[in-house]
Amino acid sequence: MTRLAGAASLRLTLARACAWALLIAGWVGIGSFALQFAPSESYGFALVALWLVALGAAATVVTRGGMRRWTRALALCAGVAGTDAGLWSSVHGGGLGAVLLALAGWAALTALASGVVRSLRLAQSAAPTPPVAAAGLGALCAGLALGDPGDLSALAIRLMLFVVAAGALLVLLQRRFDEGPRAPGCRAGLFDCSLPAWPAGAWRDPRQWPTLLAGLAMLPMMAALPLMAAWCSAQGVAPQAMVLLHLGAMFGPPLVLRLWIAHWSQRSLSVGCTLLLAAGAAFAAWASAPLNLLGLAVTHGAAWGLAWSGQLWAPARRGRQGASPVRAAAGYAVLTLAFGLVVEHFGVGGVAAMHVALGLGAVLAWLFALVPVAGSREVTDRPHPPAARPPAPHGGGQ
């Protein structure tokens, strides 16, 4: 029995790593091709927004439950074929139409990966631990596959091989398992609750604002990462180093501090996010290039990591179950479009201004939360450690 449980846990961890690797590599990789082939930077960001909406829509369909393993296997193969055809054609004269094909294929493939994870998770009798280690492994694989996002010919080859390997592994991992027809639909969030999807009304509490703002830091950073890699390259910093540094900052601190974050209160989490967002704003405002972008990538990447892992450990900080991922995807898409307009008009200064605004907002919110309000009382939301949480077959995030 122990051996079977260990094998099931390993399969879930590998599937989670694949899903996260596809999400991260797709976000940056599709963005790299979109920004190169689109007629303008705002148009390129619009394509990234389209990919997010397509991912949310596909996740709504393929994670409803009832999909059989051979159906999903064929769908995974089709997603791999469509993605690779688009990537290959885009650097061989296919242009923007080929990018759209790769965009659609990658969105479907990522959603199917999320479905594989969900099926494996629902099959377990107890709630698995949050996917911090698996997400970190996936981020490492994605960073190695991305390499230099500016060299599209080499990037296309690496991403094609990466997609084939991830698709094949997902087909094998979901072998011998058929999902029952009663599996519930996607939970709140763009990626089945693994990206910050805060409960309704969270913005009404200023004490949560630093954590909420840190949860939004991933959006401008990931959307602009291909451009930031190019800007750092002009300053003598290898693009590969910039990509790995940012991904390491996002997933390294949650992995190292996971035993402590599981016991942090809302106040402690807000303080950590405020300090990191403020430090990033200081780098962006006063440091010289390329230290401004490097410092920003580390501090705001770490702030997002704390917010993400903090909401994984605390059910009270998550969005409700049953919410459609399309809603979260649409929100991300709208913010991506707005950010694209800022970058097109202000360039690297626009990126810095967005992150300075996040830092200032977090500091002001924290100062405002310190002001005593008549009749207010402290709300305790200290998360339960994993061992103290009752078993729940639908818990654990992606």
> Do 136 and 100 share a domain, yes or no?
yes
CA 286 to chain CA mean position, Å: 28
> Do 212 and 326 share a domain, yes or no?
yes
Would you say residue 190 has pLDDT above 60? Answer: no
In a domain, 232, yes or no: yes
Quick: pLDDT tens for 300-343. Answer: 999 999 988 887 766 555 555 556 677 778 888 888 899 989 98
> Do 82 and 218 share a domain, yes or no?
no
Q: Are 63 and 362 in contact (CB under 8 A)?
A: no
Q: From 281, 279, 305, 270, select the one nearest 357 (Cα to Cα).
A: 281
pLDDT of amino acid 322:
54
Would you say residue 379 has pLDDT above 50? Answer: no
> Do 169 and 200 share a domain, yes or no?
no
Domain that holds residue 41: 1-186
> Do 161 and 255 share a domain, yes or no?
no
pLDDT of amino acid 118:
82
Q: Which residue type sits at 243?
A: V
Quick: pLDDT tens for 211-245. Answer: 889 988 888 788 888 888 888 888 888 999 999 99
In a domain, 378, yes or no: no
In a domain, 139, yes or no: yes
> Do 145 and 276 share a domain, yes or no?
no
> Do 81 and 61 share a domain, yes or no?
yes
Alpha carbon distance 81, 84 (integer Å):
5
pLDDT of amino acid 252:
94
Q: What percent of the chain has pLDDT over 90?
A: 45
Q: Which residue has the tokens 């917010």?
A: 307
Number of neighbouring beta carbons within 10 Å of residue 236: 8
In a domain, 112, yes or no: yes
pTM of the model: 0.88
Q: Which residue has the tokens 């190169």?
A: 36
Kindly give the residue spans of alpha helices, DSSP state H, lying in 127-151: 132-146
> Do 197 and 89 share a domain, yes or no?
no
In a domain, 396, yes or no: no
User: In Å, what is the CA distance from 199 to each residue of 32, 154, 218, 321?
Assistant: 32, 42, 18, 10
Return the DSSP state at 198: P
What is the rounded average pLDDT for all residues in the chain?
A: 83
pLDDT higher for 156 or 327?
156
Q: Which residue has the tokens 């009832």?
A: 66
Total number of domains constituting the chain = 2
In a domain, 362, yes or no: yes
> Do 123 and 180 share a domain, yes or no?
yes
pLDDT of amino acid 314:
65
> Do 199 and 160 share a domain, yes or no?
no
> Do 247 and 116 share a domain, yes or no?
no
Q: From 151, 347, 340, 138, select the one nearest 240 (Cα to Cα).
A: 151
pLDDT of amino acid 17:
93
Which band of pLDDT confidence, cut at 50, 70 and 90, is reported for residue 86? very high
Would you say residue 92 has pLDDT above 90? Answer: yes
Q: Which residue type sits at 106?
A: W
pLDDT of amino acid 372:
61
> Do 171 and 208 share a domain, yes or no?
no
Quick: pLDDT tens for 340-376. Answer: 899 888 988 888 898 999 999 999 998 887 776 434 4
- Calculate mean pLDDT across residues 48-57: 91
Would you say residue 5 has pLDDT above 50? Answer: yes
- Calculate mean pLDDT across residues 72-100: 95
Tokens of 45: 């960001």
Q: Is 307 helix (H, G, I), strand (E, B) or coil?
A: helix
